[in-house]
Structures are given as structure tokens and as C-alpha cells.
Chain A
């Protein structure tokens, strides 16, 4: 268990003013079985019309819009979390967990992923969790962390064919591999101690709970991660999603900071 202070800041700068801007933000960590959020402050600009909601995966959302012209957009979030309280998020309902057993457009395997999946063998009585650990190890051996070669639209199969990518790609491939073996697996977004941006990892359903595994770092998620949202893939967990009118180019700046709180 750790007590972590966290902050997340995102700014979009438009090179010319935009209008009719609609946005949905999923950036707020919540108290769960694994973590306790002790403090949380969120500011959004523009904030003329803001509303709060919870999506079908239980993620907290802020949505809103700004009709008038504006040239920047920002989210500022900070707080304190106690992490690593339990090893897994409880989910005893197999039928509900089953929703995460099926491939999405982002995770649908092609021949690269199928071949990688086939190259792993399990003991007959292995649990989902044990299988997932082996799949993660295999993935880690066959994929390198290289930023800038993939983007948010890259699918799991495309990424594996390239052999390199970032945490989003690791996670999509991991989900694809698990789902090939009928293991329900979720995409998770959050913050990580020592990481300057948001991070993504997988949550694998086994023995009545979703166990978080971080394929980018080939490790079991312990108390260094703060969970923000979960879904079937990246698209369910986008921290900021928006549409606007105007041909503006946008520049994005993100700062995340997670440090151990002083006692």
C-alpha cells in the first residue's frame, strides 16, 4: 500500500479559434476495492456548460460544450490516493464479465496475433490469471517499447505486425491474446508513479475478480498505479474526446505527476 499524490494537466491549444466544441472527459479516479481516493479536485475550461455522468462501465464522466469561439481547452486534476489495497477488483458475475471476452475492432486478431497466441502453451489446469501471465511474458518478448510509430487508431494486429509501439498497443495486443483464449479482459487507463503521461494496462478476469497486469512493464500491477477508467478498449476510456467546428490545428500538452505523499 502506498499513499500517492497525483496531478494531471492537459491543454489543447488551437492555432485559430474554434466554436461548437463538444467534449467528454473521463479523467477522475474513483474509490474502488483496490484504491481509496482521499482528495480530488478537477477544473475544466471552458466551463460554461458542464454536466456529470457515469458511463456504462461505471467510469465518471464530465461532458459539456462551448458554442462561442475559444482558442484553448484545459483539464486540471489533482488529488491523493491510497493504492494497492487489494490485488483485484471484485467481479463475481461471470455473465457480466463475459462482455469483455469478445474482440472489438481495435483488438480483433489477424495472423500475427493468432500465431503469437498459438506459440504459448499452458498447463491444463492453469487459471485465467496464470494463462494471462504467460501471454504477457510472451508479448513482452516479442514487442518493443518505441514511441511515435503507432497512433491512437492503430489496431492490435497492426501494432504487432510493426513489432513496436506504446502502452496502448501493448494493452490492445494483450486483450486480443486473452480473448482468443476466452479470457475476459478489460482495457484500463490511469496514472503511474514516475510516468509523465497517462498510462494503459490490462485487467484480466480470473477467480471472481479483475486482476490488473501491466504488459508494457511485464509486471503485476501493485501500488504504483492509480486507476481512472476501464472499458473494452481504448475507445471506451479516452481521457478527452471532442468535436468542434473550424479547421484549427491543435497542439496538445500533457503533464502527469505521481509521487509518494509525505507522511
Chain B
């Protein structure tokens, strides 16, 4: 790969990102602060053929996950056929009994899926986790691409990179597909949310109105936006960036002040689309992750194209035995945690921590999964004018309409700490653009 003059422009692009307020919010000592999301100009480059393979695998995975959620809140064949044990459904914090028997508009649950992958040293890709609730991050590579093209125009003249600035158009296509009649809106918990920049950016880009819960109201069996004059405008699709439990105080957490009373009741009746569908958490649980290749086989009769990281479920005795025997080389994940929390590397534990952990593991085997540590292929970043290797993952976005479409880009996050595997922005990581080559 030739050296792009783009690298010289990292600082300039970061300045432009600051200019456009490309930030995420973070709470430190109970105080809200906005932080810039550090950008590294060396892109992750994915060859055309490699991406085509990812695309096939991601579509297959998301189709299966969508069928799984529909099955779980409907017939539950996969449980009846003993492919997935009952407790991994009903005891999961992501399972919502309120969703039983509810079919979302056009049967779509996973409108926007953010699938996290890593590439191993040998070039193989592994799925790290599926994010089917409110995955964020697509706006960052979109705006970074725009600014890189501005600061380094020559780079883009003949490189043949797929344009990724169609994300908003894809999102609009997804909203339009399930819209039940009326406007599209983006529902935000407010500007003190970590991803507020993204909410407002996507609203501007898609032409969907950015709203807070108190600007919407359910009257009779429909949802309305009330404007300054008291006029009501019907809403047909809500891309909600608030979690299930806060969505509707009458149906979920009754303390929620950011939700809309009765929105779930009219959703149940098919009178508004919610993106993503409530209850999706049942499918992106770290415990369910183990079963995704099995569900692909079960629903589609195909072998999974993309591999999971080798995962063990201590819930099964033979897996527990394996975990105990090879404990020191595994990474243990608490299924209830997210965002890089609840992840421990066995070789980093002290003797005491290990003893305590093993007691916990034996008492609550369902709570953990164990995975082989994947030898990541590092990606270079520029640090103080030098190229240094760092751990990085890729969040690919799959949007669902009549059929799934994989966005030809993705969010590449890297860890700034050379010893860390944790790439989450909430833990200080940075991001890169992801280039998919068109030839």
C-alpha cells in the first residue's frame, strides 16, 4: 500500500472534527463533559474480495438474528427443539415479556445492527459481539471521510474507495420501509447523552426531526408531534436512541421521564415503527452469542460464514471442565455487562482474584462466557509523528429493509494504550475511517 499524504493531515482533520463538534459526552465525578473523539488518519483498508466475504457473512448473521427474535417472541421453535436452552431466554435481562406476541411493522426487529469484528494475525475475521439495541458510531466515519477528502483531495483521486457518505440515505431507506404513515423522527434522551452529536447529525442528514420524549404524545391509537402552534403531525417511525426500559413509563420503567407514555401500546397495535424493536436484547446477550452459529444452521440450514471467537459456555459441564483446565489463557466475560466492562483476562488476575472468580463462576455458571484470546492483527496509528501498532476492532453496520444491506464502511476503533485490548470510546480509545476498496 502506498503512503498517502493523508497522514500528514491528521492534525488538520482533528481540528475540523472539533470545529463541527464531533464529540461524545462522558460523566466524570458526576459532571458532564464533552470530549473529542481522537481520529487517526491511517484508514483501515478492506480489499474488495475481503469485504464481499464479510458482506455475505454479515447478511447471513443478521437475517438469522432477526428470525431468532421473531421466533422467541412468537412460536419459540428453537427452544422447543432444544437448540437454545430456555434459561438463556427467560433469565436474560434482554428478554422482555412485554414483547411476547408482538410483531413489529414488516417483521423487522434488527433495523440497524452494529456487528463488532476483529481480524486475527492470520487474516481471518471473528465476530466479537452483536449490537442489536442502539448501536452507535456510524456518523464518525461519515464525517471523517468528508473532512479527509477536504484536507487531502489528491489521496482520493484514484484510490477507488467506496463512498461511505450514503449512510444517512440508507438509514432513511430503513425508516421509510417500516414507516406506518407519517413523519420519521429520531428520539434522543437529550444533549447530555454520550452520543448526542450523532443523534443531531443523523437528524440533520436524514431530514428526520430530532425530538425528545416530551415533544411527542400518544392520542388515541397514534403518535403525534406537537408543534409551536399546537398543530399535530402524525409520526410513523421512531428511530429511538433511548433504551427499552426508558421508552414508555406505562409499559417499562415507570420512573422514566424521557419516554413517551403508551407508545408501546400503539406499537403493539402496529401503528408506529420503533427502530430498533424493543426486546432485541434477548439476541445480543453475550450468552446468546454462543448460539448464533447454531441458529444460522437452524433457521437457514447453512453453516455460518463468519466465525465466532472460540467460546465456551460454563453452563454446559464439558465446557466448564475445559474452562477450568485452560483457565489461564482465556478471557472471561460477564454476559450482563457491556461497553468493555465485565471483561477479565485470566492471565492478568492475581492469585486471590482468581480464587474469588472461580467461586463466582461455579456458583453462577450461566453468568459468564469464556473465550480464547484472539491474536489481533494490529493496525498502525500515528503517534508523535511515528507509526505504531495498536489493537483495533471494526463495527460493521447492517441496515435492514426488504433485505439487509451492509454499509460499505464501518467504525474502526483502536486502543491508544499499547497494552490494552479495550477499544471503547468510553475508555479513551480513538477511531479511524474504514475504506472498502471498489476494485
Contacts and interface: CB of A to CB of B under 8 A. Distances in A.
25 contacts: A22-B250, A22-B261, A22-B262, A24-B265, A49-B219, A51-B262, A51-B265, A56-B97, A56-B98, A56-B100, A63-B250, A63-B265, A65-B219, A65-B261, A65-B262, A95-B76, A95-B79, A96-B76, A98-B79, A98-B86, A99-B97, A102-B87, A102-B90, A243-B249, A243-B254
A98 B219 contact: no
For this complex, into which size category does the number of interface residues on chain B fall? 20 to 34
B269 interface: yes
Nearest to B250: A24
A135 B254 CA distance: 32
Interface of A: 22-24, 49, 51, 53, 55-57, 61, 63, 65, 95-96, 98-99, 101-102, 232, 236, 241, 243
Contacts of B97: 56-57, 99, 232, 236
B91 interface: yes
Contact of B99 (A56, A95, A232): A56
A218 B99 CA distance: 34
Contacts of A243: 249-250, 254, 261
Interface string B191-211: 000000000000000000000
Greatest chain A CB density within 10 A among B98, B251, B261 is at B261
B231 to A, nearest CB: 15
B54 interface: no
Q: Majority SS of interface residues in chain B?
A: loop
B16 interface: no
A96 B97 CA distance: 11
Contacts, number: 59
Query: Which 3 pairs of residues, A with B, have the shortest CB-CB distance?
Result: A22-B261, A56-B100, A98-B86
Contacts of A99: 90, 97, 100
Contacts of B261: 22, 65, 243
Contacts of B102: 56
Interface in B87-126: 87, 90-91, 97-102
A53 B221 CA distance: 10
B101 A56 contact: yes
A53 B266 CA distance: 9
Contact of B268 (A23, A53, A96): A53
Contacts of A55: 98
A102 B91 contact: yes
Nearest to A242: B250
Nearest to B221: A51
Nearest to B262: A63
Contact of A101 (B80, B86, B101): B86
A53 B218 CA distance: 14
A134 to B, nearest CB: 25
Nearest to B80: A95
